[in-house]
Each structure stands twice: as structure tokens, then as C-alpha cells.
Structure 1
């Protein structure tokens, strides 16, 4: 297993020559200059990531990190905690939202147990650290050593998937109550007050939102995470699923593939990943604007603009699955459109 420093060192700057070549080819397609907007930007970014202007489609996979949270005991969620385990098992049967959307996009779903409060589940990759993390309102979510070990294990998982032929990675999560630690992370890393980033999550009653805000405030005051130390933030106010997603981002970037973000939880993890290794930012593709409060704060802090606005807040990687089809569209534009330099503009001569 790599050290964290070795992992960071493997993340290369994007290949500027490949990007210039890809942009030149895109500008020369049969269309007005820039008329396909962000599809053209995607192509340029992909060329820089893959380090070649010769772009091909490949296997796409969403890695879903699942774990439970000790802060559930503070009454910050109305959904029963055992739904994490139930939905993880349903995911192995292809029955959850991300599975349905991934099927439409031809995307694999890889569900990983990094801390569900249950015995190992059949069909779920077992990387369990513990049966749920600590209650961040009273103690750190985990030790720094646990956070670093899981971060590296998750990065290695991502790199192994790339080595086995996966060309695009998406991230997803599953964990009842996990919008609370995510809001704490976003608050710390952006220097924003909890009341500006704490949202309703999975249908939390709006008249109790003040309680959820108070829990996030307590978690930050109790643990005092260092905003300049991403690993410290994860260990103190994060969770195993959030560490896992962050590790996938670092590992995917180190392996040289794009990372498709999902919603609010993934934004929180992207903030940490970029704090640990700023060059990760160039590998990120934001999928959709989550309806969860705090999304705009996190995205603005990273200067990321999602492709879609569908008022979704399911999580699981559902937005990433839809965005994969936009990436396929960019590939098709780049590889199938005619070129202005070709003899394509002349009308056929009447016989």
C-alpha cells in the first residue's frame, strides 16, 4: 500500500499539449465555434486527464461507500439506521435508484461496506473498519490512523479498478444521517456557519432543523478540526463513507482517470480531497446541483459548475450515473462529427 505522500505524488498535472490538440480538433468540427458548450470543455479536460487527444469510451463504474454514523443517536435523521444495511443489500440486487440509473447508462455499481452496523452482507465488498463511527457530537468519528488507513485502502481500490479496465470512476455513498457530518465538513473547510450549510437530508422535519444545526455546531466545537488538514477534518467530523469517497477521488486521480462527483456528500469529500492534494481538482467532473442546502456553498468554494439541475438529493451516486451519459455524448461529438477541413460542405453535383 502506498503512503499518503506517495499517493499524492502520483497525481500528475493535466497534459496541456493533449488538451490543445483536442481543442483544435473540436474547433474544427462541422459546427459554429463553441456551439456545443460544455461538451467541448469535457473533451478538452478528458484529453488532459488521459494524456492523449485520441479519446475512446471505456468501462464506467460508480463506487458506493456505505457506513453508519454514531451521530444518528442525536436524533438528526428520521429514517431508521438499519436502512443503510437494507439498501446496501438492495443494491446488490440492482433495486436502488443508482442501480436503475446506472443500468440506463451502462455503468457498473460497486458497493463497499466500510462501516455498516451489521454483519458482512453477501455481494458487498467488505472493507469494514467498524460497525459505525463515533458520535461526532461527543467524540471524533475515528482516529487519525483509521482515517489514513481507510483513505489509502479506498485509493488502492480505485486504482485496482482502473488497472482492471475501468476508464471513468464515479463516487456514491450510503449512510443514514451522513448529511450531518458532511455539513460539518463543508462548514469547517469553507469557513461558513453551520446554519448556512445544514439541510434537511432525507426528509428531516423543517421545524427541527435548528436541532440539526446545533448538533453540527457542537461537533465542530467539541472536536475542533483543523481546516488546513483534510485528514484531520475527516477523522474528527467525517465518517467512514466520507473517508472512502475521498480515497476514491485521490486514487482515481493518481491512476489518471476522471472522477464524476454526485451530490452534497461528494462535494464535502471533494473539498477534503482538494485540501489534501490540490491537483485532484483537475480530475473532477461535477454531475448535478444537489437540492441539499449547502451545495452552492461547497461548489462555489471549489469553482465547480455541475452539468445538471434536477432537484435530486438521493445520493448513492445517482447523479453521477446520469452524468456518465453526458460524457458519452461528448465522446460521440468528438469522434463522430465531420470536420470543416474535410470535403463535407459541398452539395452533390446533379447528374
Structure 2
């Protein structure tokens, strides 16, 4: 690993939970109904966690870096466009004639173009940074796209560009890309990092017919079969099947995370590079903002894996950074709302924050609700009441299934199943993240997080004292919190409040109590509403 990369990784830190809690609390006091700004509120909280302060700094000025490179896999006939178009488009960017230039002028963003691997020799041009690592990659169906050293150098180029744009005053960075055939490499990267089927992540790119599309899928499959890339070795994956712009974009994301400034992801190329960045440094996800949901299928799979919710969904598939620049005003507005909107106290406006216990009729519910309580406190009934006016609910039971040697538990599960409305859909699983990531209007109810945690601790081998059990548990909890924070669904979760129950005075009991307390606190911090049940009486805590 190079010194530049080591220095960058050392500066990347997790999101600041105290700042996120402060942002959530401030959102609840602004002169608007809680949760009424939806994803903008979520992003403002995430940006506070990234900056480590509430409110976070303004996400402006902003700059988009368009990394340009060519791909040897173009020789396999995966694109109808000639490879020369990459260099021609770089010249177009330089004179301000591309789509990203037009949208950037509207959004007030600077555009920088970086030649990290264009096959042609480009003449010097204003606005084009010459950082060519090599003139295009090799054909990934024949050999590795580049050497490991070249992949590291391209990553360093991305870090250098992030630092350069930051040093010139930019406080929001946006990803851009240009490279004919780069969606083929993107599909290979997404399949390698997520384990998804190549056919599921391969799209039509710049617009190809059915025959070329089938060939493109086969090319991705051949490349993956040839190299067998190991997702635990992200630099190796980039070197084997990636592009020079992918590696540079991964470095750009890492550089932004180290500088603690947001980096707005564009489409499928940026999303595939973001997977590589996360594999290098998991905490870099805290800096990522999903600008839009690309029409390329791999983008949605990558965003779900990253736990990011796109701000814009317009069926875009251009690239260049166009979707990221379109989303820029939304990112900036999220911060301005948190910084500039008056609170109820400062504006002298009455805060209508009625406790569910005192309200008549259906109980009010936010988009993300946590219902806490001790045993037999009525917490599950309260959660169901919050969704009583909804016809269809995805009900998740993450606890153990009935077992022949535990008739009492079997009876409890049967009673729960029988009490649910016939229209509710039951999921008996501990795999909550994909359900939270689903883009659907059907509400989700999780009953309960305490049984989920118990099962996850067992899955991770905590009680068997597996060497990596603690890290596995931390990763599972981090994934859940991230998915909860970014979910677009209405979701209600039930959990045992450990302060309201009796915990066996054993090492295992104390460990479970401590872990559940942490899970409850983290989920509560990123929830819109928290209700505490005591003896069947709800009290709204948030």
C-alpha cells in the first residue's frame, strides 16, 4: 500500500453519532411536522455525522471531477460507439459543450476533467488535468485490466484530485466519468463485490440491441470466470476487471471521506467504484450521497448493498456526472434547512407534539418508529395499532422458528401468526437489510429487534467465542442501522427496553443487555418517533 493511500485511510473515521443525534433532535424542533422533508432530513443527519458537528457546514462551493479512460474490453463488441469518442468527449467537456457542463452551470458547480487513462494522446487543454496512468486498460476477457501498481496509482490520482478541489475551497465533491465500454467493467465490479449474477447487473449502457446485450453479459461472465476476483482484495478486483476511471473514482471517494466532505455519486460507474471504496475503508460510506438511481440495473443493486437511498429517480443513464449535479441542490438544501430554519421556540410557534396516549383516534406514526417496552408491556400491540389503518404490511419475525422441543415457544409463535390480519405478509427471517432497502409503499413491521439481536449473536458465533465474532456482530449492527437510517419505507420496529426488564446476572446475560442497549440507542437516534410502553400505556419519547 502506498504512503498516500495509507495516510488517506488513517484519516477516515466513522460517522459521529453524537452529531447525528443532535441533528435528529434539531430536526424535531424545526418549524415543520417531524419527518415532513423525508430523505432531506435523513441526508442532513448523515452530513452532520460526516462533519462531526451540528449543523454541518454548507455543502458549497461544489465541483464535479470527470475521470476519463478507455477500456480494452471494447474489442469484444460491447458498445456501438467507437473508442475514439472518449477522447473527443474530453475535448467537449473542456470547452463546456457536454450535458454535465450545462447542468453544472445551472447548479453553480465547477467541472474538472481528468485524463486518467484515455487511449489517445490528448493535446493540453484548459480544464483538463493530465494524469494518465496508462493509455486504456487491457481486455479483461484475456488478461487483467491493469497491474496492481497501476490500480494503486489510479486510486492515488483520485485522492489527489479530491485534495486539489478541497484546497481550492470546494466543500462538496461530485463524481463524473467518461469511457466508452465502461458499463461493462462496472457490471463486472458490481458482480464481484456483491455476488450478484452478472445478468442481473449488466445493462444496455449507451443503448445496444439484444444481440450485443447478450454478448455483453457473456463478456462479463467470461471476465469473472477468468480472474475469480476476491472481494476481500478490492485493489486486486479493480486491477483484474475494473477501469482506470473506476480506480480513480474509488480514490476520489476515499479522499472525500478523509477530508470529511460529502461526495455525491452519479450513476452505475460511480456506484461500482463506491463498492470498491467501501471494501477498502468501510467507514467511507459515511461520506457518500446517492445522487440518483440510474436506469442501469447494477446501480440499484450497488446502492442497496451500500445502504444508500438515491435522491433523484429520472431514468437517467448518461453518466458524465449529470445525475450527481442534478442532485446537488437537494444536498445543499438539506444542510440549509438544518442550519437556517427556525425552531418552534425561536419562532414563537406552538409545537403540536401530542403524546399518542393523549390522542384520540388513530395514533400518529412517523416514517421510522421504534416502540420500546419490557415484557408484556403491550409494545407489539402498540406497533400494530400504529399500522391499523393500513391494509397490507410486511411483517418480519426475526426470532427462532417453532421447535419440537419447545412447545411453549411454538404456542407463542402460533398465537402471533393467528393474530395478524390475513392481508399482512409474514417474513420469518433475520435478513432485515434487503427488506429495508426495498423501494415499496408497503409498510414494514419488525417484531422484534431483541430476538433479531439474539439470533445474530448466535449466527456470529459469539457464544462459541469465534475469533472474528465481535467484528461480525459489529458489521451486522452497522448494516442494520445504515439500512434503517436510509430506508424509504414506513417501518415500525419493536424492541425490549433493557432498562425495563430483568436480565439474568450472568456474563452472557450482561453481554446481551449491553449489546441490545446499544442497538436500541442507535436505532432510536435515527428514528422519527420513539414510543416507550409501560404497563400498556404509551409515552412518546421522541
Band of TM-score, shorter chain: over 0.9
Q: CA deviation at 1:93?
A: 1.2
**Cα-to-partner distance string for 1:210-265 (whole Å, 9 max, x where unaligned):** 11111111111222211211101100000111111111001110111111000111
Assess if the C-alpha contact under 8 Å between 1:288 and 1:307 holds in 2: yes
Q: CA deviation at 1:21?
A: 2.1
TM-score by length of 1: 0.95
Take 1:88 and 1:153, find their aligned partners in 2: how far apart are those partners? Answer: 17
Assess if the C-alpha contact under 8 Å between 1:200 and 1:293 holds in 2: no
Take 1:332 and 1:144, find their aligned partners in 2: how far apart are those partners? Answer: 42
Q: 2:173 aligns with which of 156, 169, 176?
A: 169
Counterpart in the other structure of 1:233? 237
Q: 1:125 aligns with which of 120, 123, 129?
A: 129
Count of residues in correspondence between the two structures: 346
Structure 1 position 26 matched with structure 2 position 27? yes
Mapping of 1:309-328 within 5 angstroms?
309-328=313-332
Structure 1 position 12 matched with structure 2 position 16? no
Q: CA deviation at 1:343?
A: 4.3
Assess if the C-alpha contact under 8 Å between 1:65 and 1:173 holds in 2: yes
**Cα-to-partner distance string for 1:278-316 (whole Å, 9 max, x where unaligned):** 001111100111001222222222222111110000001
Counterpart in the other structure of 2:200? 196
Assess if the C-alpha contact under 8 Å between 1:11 and 1:280 holds in 2: yes
Counterpart in the other structure of 2:345? 341
Measured on the aligned residues, the alpha-carbon RMSD in Å equals: 1.5
**Cα-to-partner distance string for 1:19-70 (whole Å, 9 max, x where unaligned):** 2222222211111111111111111111121222143422101111000111
Structure 1 position 222 matched with structure 2 position 223? no
Counterpart in the other structure of 1:265? 269
Counterpart in the other structure of 2:3? 2
Structure 1 position 41 matched with structure 2 position 42? yes
Counterpart in the other structure of 1:76? 78
**Cα-to-partner distance string for 1:97-130 (whole Å, 9 max, x where unaligned):** 1111111111111110001111133121000012
Structure 1, 237-246 or 2-11: larger mean CA deviation: 2-11
Counterpart in the other structure of 2:96? 94
Structure 1, 53-62 or 311-320: larger mean CA deviation: 53-62
Structure 1, 54-63 or 167-176: larger mean CA deviation: 54-63
Structure 1, 188-197 or 294-303: larger mean CA deviation: 294-303
Q: Helix, strand or coil: the match of 2:171?
A: strand
TM-score by length of 2: 0.62
Assess if the C-alpha contact under 8 Å between 1:249 and 1:273 holds in 2: yes
Counterpart in the other structure of 1:349? none
Counterpart in the other structure of 1:64? 66
Q: CA deviation at 1:81?
A: 0.9
**22 and 177 in structure 1: CA distance in 2 versus 1, 3 angstrom threshold:** same
**Cα-to-partner distance string for 1:117-151 (whole Å, 9 max, x where unaligned):** 11133121000012111111101110001111221
Take 2:173 and 2:347, find their aligned partners in 1: how far apart are those partners? Answer: 38
Q: 1:242 aligns with which of 243, 246, 254?
A: 246
Counterpart in the other structure of 1:307? 311
- Larger Cα-atom Rg: 2
Take 1:295 and 1:55, find their aligned partners in 2: how far apart are those partners? Answer: 28
Assess if the C-alpha contact under 8 Å between 1:159 and 1:254 holds in 2: no
Take 2:55 and 2:333, find their aligned partners in 1: how far apart are those partners? Answer: 16
Q: CA deviation at 1:161?
A: 1.8
Q: 2:188 aligns with which of 164, 184, 203?
A: 184
Take 1:293 and 1:54, find their aligned partners in 2: how far apart are those partners? Answer: 35
Structure 1, 41-50 or 171-180: larger mean CA deviation: 41-50
Assess if the C-alpha contact under 8 Å between 1:338 and 1:344 holds in 2: no
Whose relative contact order is higher, 1 or 2, with alpha carbons under 8 Å and at least 6 apart?
A: 1
Take 1:149 and 1:38, find their aligned partners in 2: how far apart are those partners? Answer: 36
Assess if the C-alpha contact under 8 Å between 1:2 and 1:152 holds in 2: no
Structure 2 runs not aligned, ≥5 long: 351-542
Q: CA deviation at 1:3?
A: 3.9
Structure 1, 178-187 or 326-335: larger mean CA deviation: 326-335
